[in-house]
A and B are shown apart, each in its own frame.
Chain A
Amino acid sequence: MGSGGMVVMDDNNCMVSTAKFFLEFTADESCGKCVPCRIGTRILLDMLTDITEGRGNEKDIETLEDLSRDIISASLCGLGQTAPNPVLTTIKYFRDEYESHIKDKWCKAGVCRDLCTFLIDEQLCKGCGACLRVCSSKAITGEKKKPHRIAQDICVRCRSCYETCKFDSIKILPASAMEGKTKKLLTVNSELSTKIW
């Protein structure tokens, strides 16, 4: 990643957000002397931000790759010459994540809050109440031993319930999954989640 260091991550990480994180650092650290690094890294960061916030468009991956290569070739110093590496490597190995961010508006890791919806699969939920207890915004309701529900207009998509649930009953769906349906106290059945998954 960038400096050549190795970072180990699991599937709970969104690769677009990871690239964005590195670009935040390099765009901030750019001294501003040469054009490709000063403006290029800023543009890369803006594009990644757009993607993670659901404003990505189909040409973005291509543009990111192209711009990244130009920045690497044209920059004056090592910072600019390596700054776009996280973008290029994440696109290289996790292109599908970029695509799902852009096309499906779906951050499968649930990191990009604008691109995900947390739902409880009624068939898997045992009603243990663990998620209810960790939810800091009190978005989850439900009686013991009965399937719980997440109130979408309260949920801040912090992933706490997802990480707590021992039964994999919490599913991450694209933000658009519930479009057109009432968003209040929604649950989802396995059928639907499998279909989308």
Chain B
Amino acid sequence: MVELTINDKKIQAAKGTTILEAALKNGIKIPNLCYDKRLSPYGACRLCVVEVEGQPRLFASCSSPVAAGMAVKTNTPKLRKIRQTIIELMLVHHPLDCPVCDKAGECDLQDIAYEYGKPEARFIRHRKKAPPDVRGPLIELTSNRCILCGKCVRICDEYQGRGALGLIGRGFSTVVQPAFGEILECDYCGQCVDTCPTGALLSKPYKFKARAWLLEEKDTVCPFCGCGCTLTLGIREGEILRSIGKENRGVSNGNLCGRGRFGDEALNYIADKLKAVSGRYGASAIGAIGSHRCTNEDNYALQKFMRNVIGSNNIDSSAAFGYAVAEKAWEKAFGQKDHRISLQSPLNKDAILILESDPSITHPVFGLNILRAKREGACLIVADSRDTKLTRHSSQWLRIKPGTGLALLNGIMKVIIDKGLFDREKASSRNIGTGFSSLELTLKDYTPGVVCRVTGLTEEELAAAAEKYAGAKKRMLSVTLSITENNKSLDILLAAANLVLLLGDSADALQVPAEYSNTFGAYHMITQNSDKGISEMFYDSDSLKALYIMGEDPAINFPDSSKIISRLSSLELLVVQDIALTETAKSAHVVLPASGWAEKDGTFTNTEGITQKIYKAVSPTGKSLPDWQILRNLALTMGKDLGFRNLDDITKEINSAFSLQPSALSPQPCFNPVHYTTGEEPDSEYPLTMVIRDILQHSGSMSTRSKSLDLVVSEALLEINEEDARKYGIPDQSHVKVSSRQGAVYLKAAVSDEIPEGAVFVSPHFPHAKINTLTRFSANGGSGIIAVKIESVK
């Protein structure tokens, strides 16, 4: 520490600080125009000159370090005189257009001239006449007003690291300009606008909006990222006209980025558009899609935003393709809601039937328990066209043709009924189910002969499986169902439920796990009780005009991509809030960056219905914010309060609004006889059936953004049987064109003996593979088996 006196006041200052800093710290004001504490000393404006005792020269306090025993005077007549002269000189060529300058009222030059200047000017000449540069999108540059303090140039280069502005020329004719006088192309952070002491650099969106002294200023936290910068909003008559960063306020201390400074634009734009769409077409023209990737809190905030702020009940999530279908089946078959599975359920079972699913891939821990049950003596029957880990460990592998699981179930039931392997009394009693007779009638046609022709099994295999399953004491049947699997739908769940009811088992003998980490939670937070779901929003041509998508990528993940994309592009407003620039985000009007899962706190509810807290493990990337905070800020922009300030508030609201317990409705079990319908039958033109199946390394499309996961599997492979590969002349690892009636994609072939002849398997994860170009939409979940043809690409 160094001791010095400034204006006879003894002060202590750290070694190396400048006189100006020491003075400001001790409440002594020294006028300055080119000093910014973020920048290195410059000493150009010379307003901060001070007298130091014993020194003949004046010191520029902003660039002179303190020294022990220094006696500094900051406000002597000599200094006042010199400051007057300097201000006079600055004003020689500064246009006095304050009446039409947005900076007026908060202009440093104006303030300093008011405080230190003098009324009369001795020199009247050299008004510069350069026209303002208004070519850039957000920032305009009026070099006439520039006093060449260089702060903009320095903050851009030194602080922001962009270097988009320079002092061009020298001497009297110096101007601040982008290189070669081109249009300002930069980060548009607007730091230069805030630091400019005059009206030389101004925000274009704010131009001529309001006089500075008429603005009501309110501090808020920037919604765009995890930095949580303090924005000072300029509000007039309830409208946010601008946001700026102010020195010494909040964590950001005056620094802002383009999103914060000009980003109220984005929220304002969304708010205005939403209001406009709602006004013109009614609130029902606005829809929203939540996501299993987001926390319960995020999804809750989204539905609350839609219902309370927009007044629309059109909200859904991709669970519509999976878990929502399971819920539908549950209600129909068992009269129950809130279906949840138990990961422990395979244990202690005598027979386990897995239908066209591979839980060891989609739900690995559940899969492990299935294998454990098998080791402990259970009979594991796996009906699957594909050779999987479970088929290899199975007691009996029913290698059915893709998409024929429903026929198999009906066949098994028919065998059970014909052979009397069930309790007819019990099955036809109202306690177990209603409609047994109609089931019997429906199953009449599913003779072993017919079923075996459809599924490709032998009659012995079918009979053995039916007998083993029906003969077991404790049974379990499991099917997975998700948007990424195209071979199953509502009907197969109903058929499975029929089997469960037929054998007199309770509902928990059927285990249909919710597909992703928070599918269960997302479904319960948003999908329940909504008016229009995904099927109405995307596939029925209807009047949806605005869509708010949070954490979902319909353009890639939803079936029938071309329909989705045309739907998306027909919208008047598409807002995508996601952690990365997804395919969908590419056609959005506004993209809002949200934090990823490890970047925020919140809760996920798993397939067992257990709500678990997730914790912020890393700082949010770049400029993202948790979804619920973006929604809260958007609601505030629209003039409504969602009523929660933090995560705890939402959690409390969720707990009081939803009880995530199985509903206490009196169960009304009911048979729902369903017929096997073929999807797209392979024909001469499209001879192969395409099955979409998850692979172990990935989950949804987001994991393909993991570099390490992509090291393992980095491409959507078209898996094809050796015989078919030979037949169509496709070498391993060569490129093939896959076409369906919907469209065509190019994939790399992987020849595999796990695949049955006549079928090809693809994984749905890779956005660039655009698998859904090939698929169609089916309201019952899944997209149905697709008939495709393949050609070798040379």
Contact = CB atoms under 8 A, between A and B. Distances in A.
Nearest to B175: A32
A74 to B, nearest CB: 5
A75 B46 contact: yes
Interface stretch (B166-174, B431-439, B510-518, B625-633): B166-174
B271 interface: no
Contact of B86 (A32, A33, A36): A36
B171 A27 contact: yes
B90 A39 contact: yes
Contact of B90 (A35, A66, A67, A75): A35
Contacts of B92: 39, 43
B268 interface: no
Interface in B407-462: none
Interface residues of A, number: 26
A74 B46 contact: yes
A28 to B, nearest CB: 7
Interface string A65-89: 0110010011110000000000000
Nearest to A39: B89
A33 B174 CA distance: 9
Contact of A76 (B60, B90, B170): B60
B634 interface: no
Interface in B66-93: 78, 81-82, 85-86, 89-90, 92-93
Contacts of B46: 34-36, 74-76
B126 interface: yes
B123 interface: yes
Contacts of B60: 76
A28 B86 CA distance: 19
B43 interface: yes
Contact of B43 (A47, A59, A70, A76): A76
Contact of A42 (B90, B147, B172): B172
A36 B89 contact: yes
A38 B58 contact: no
Q: Which of A35, A66, A70 has the most CB of B within 10 A?
A: A35
Interface string A31-56: 11111101110110011000000000
Nearest to B174: A32
Given A39-B92, A43-B89, A31 B171 contact: yes
B454 to A, nearest CB: 87
A42 B171 CA distance: 9
Contact of B45 (A28, A29, A35, A66): A35
Interface residues of B, number: 31
B580 interface: no
Interface string B103-142: 0000000000000000000110110000000000000000
Interface in B679-704: none
A176 interface: no
B148 interface: yes
B123 A38 contact: no
A30 interface: yes
Contacts of B171: 27-32, 38
B82 A73 contact: yes
B58 A32 contact: no
B463 interface: no
A32 B170 contact: yes
A34 B82 contact: no
Contacts of B398: none
A66 to B, nearest CB: 8
Contacts of B86: 35-36, 70, 74
Interface string B486-502: 00000000000000000
B172 A32 contact: yes
Nearest to B58: A73
B44 A74 contact: no
Give the most central of B57, B92, B123, B148: most A CB within 10 Å: B123
A27 B126 CA distance: 14
A82 to B, nearest CB: 13
B13 interface: no
Given A35-B147, A70-B85, A73-B58, A30 B43 contact: no
29 contacts: A27-B172, A28-B171, A30-B171, A31-B170, A31-B171, A32-B170, A32-B173, A32-B174, A34-B43, A35-B45, A35-B90, A35-B147, A35-B148, A36-B86, A38-B171, A38-B174, A39-B90, A40-B85, A40-B89, A42-B126, A43-B89, A46-B125, A70-B86, A73-B49, A73-B57, A73-B58, A74-B49, A74-B82, A76-B44
Given A32-B167, A43-B92, A46-B126, 6 more contacts: A27-B171, A32-B148, A36-B46, A46-B123, A70-B86, A76-B60
Interface of B: 43-46, 49, 57-58, 60, 78, 81-82, 85-86, 89-90, 92-93, 122-123, 125-126, 147-148, 150, 167, 169-174
Interface of A: 27-36, 38-40, 42-43, 46-47, 59, 63, 66-67, 70, 73-76
| 10 A-B pairs with least C-beta separation | A39-B89, A32-B174, A70-B85, A32-B171, A74-B46, A30-B171, A33-B44, A42-B172, A74-B82, A32-B170
